[in-house]
């Protein structure tokens, strides 16, 4: 889950107006200079290598934007009959080209102070319980079954962050060559089990690629083998362009035997189980 961080109240009901009020002040500064911005003559000035001014002026009004592009140093400039101090990487708006009414680097908005204190210790072993989740194996009747890999979010429909992908693989031994399971997913975490045995997991990162790939050696018995993949989303995305086109969950599954061509399992019969292990 997430919360809009630009709202005037945070998820705890505390005043958190930093972004909201800062933008409100900017809108007010622009609004009061509406006449010169829309009808005035434009001119620009250079005050240094990384400092410049942009002026909009009519016969009755004037507004100036003083810009400091330097990311590290404060700059003092002379504009008109007054001197102004520009913070690093900032813009100052001057009403009537004389009085500063808004600075991007200065936040006057009210905000709440967040503090935390311990109300309960949970390090007592008696306060914890351990539950063992059953690993689903059989492909029984299900509404989420088909010869393809279902998309994670459209299948779980916000009921849970977890989705099991289950299938069976008929293994016919062909010597002692190494078997490798390859799984490509666009979820956040993936755990893999074969015949109820854990074989590995992989997770993504904030700055990493969208795809996470699990590539691990496996051992199969002759005949039927169950493959259980647990796809995990650490919260669902709720903003950004083209949300309806974004795809999550397991996208490709294959088994490679030695140097032979990988055998794709994408179109095998897959069951998808939502809400694993309710306690």
Residues with Cβ within 8 Å of 136's Cβ and at least 6 positions away in sequence, in order, are 164, 166, 228, 271, 273, 276
Domain residue spans in the chain? 18-103, 145-274
Q: pTM for the complete prediction? A: 0.58
Residues 117-172: pLDDT tens digits?
Answer: 888 888 887 878 888 777 887 666 566 899 999 999 899 987 889 999 999 999 98
CATH number of 18-103: 2.60.40.1180
Cα–Cα distance measured from residue 239 to residue 247, given in angstroms and rounded to the nearest whole number: 14
Q: Quick check: helix, strand or coil at residue 106?
A: coil
> What is the sign of the dihedral through the CA atoms of 265, 267, 271 and 275?
positive
Q: What's the CATH number of domain 145-274, 3.30.300.10, 2.60.120.260, 3.40.50.2030, 1.10.10.10?
A: 2.60.120.260
Residues with Cβ within 8 Å of 99's Cβ and at least 6 positions away in sequence, in order, are none
Q: Which residues of the chain have pLDDT under 70?
A: 1-7, 109-114, 138-143, 238-239, 275-279
Q: First vs last Cα of the chain: how many Å apart?
A: 21
Distance from chain centroid for Cα 128: 31
Cα–Cα distance measured from residue 229 to residue 192, given in angstroms and rounded to the nearest whole number: 5
């Amino acid at each position: 889950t997430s919360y809009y961080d630009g709202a005037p109240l945070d998820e705890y009901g505390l005043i958190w107006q930093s972004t909201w009020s800062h933008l409100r002040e900017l809108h007010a500064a622009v609004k009061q200079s509406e006449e010169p911005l829309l009808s005035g003559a434009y001119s620009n000035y250079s005050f240094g290598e990384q400092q410049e001014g942009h002026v909009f002026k009519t016969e009755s009004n004037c507004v100036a934007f003083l810009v400091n592009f330097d990311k590290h140093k404060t700059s003092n400039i002379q504009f008109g009959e007054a001197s102004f101090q520009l913070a690093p990487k900032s813009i100052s708006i001057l009403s009537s080209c004389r009085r500063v009414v808004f600075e991007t680097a200065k936040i006057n908005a009210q905000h709440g102070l967040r503090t935390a204190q311990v109300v309960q210790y949970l390090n007592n072993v008696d306060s914890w319980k351990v539950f063992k989740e059953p690993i689903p194996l059989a492909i029984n009747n299900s509404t989420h079954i088909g010869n393809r890999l279902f998309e994670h979010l459209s299948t779980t429909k916000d009921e849970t962050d977890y989705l099991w992908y289950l299938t069976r693989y008929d293994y016919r031994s062909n010597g002692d060559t190494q078997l490798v399971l390859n799984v490509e997913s666009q979820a956040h975490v993936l755990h893999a089990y074969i015949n109820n045995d854990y074989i590995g997991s992989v997770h993504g990162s904030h700055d990493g690629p969208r795809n996470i790939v699990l590539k691990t050696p496996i051992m199969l018995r002759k005949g039927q083998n169950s493959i259980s993949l647990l796809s995990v989303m650490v919260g669902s995305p709720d903003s950004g362009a083209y949300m309806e086109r974004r795809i999550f969950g397991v996208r490709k599954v294959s088994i490679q035997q030695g140097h032979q061509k990988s055998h794709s399992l994408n179109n095998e019969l897959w069951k998808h189980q939502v809400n694993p292990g309710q306690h």
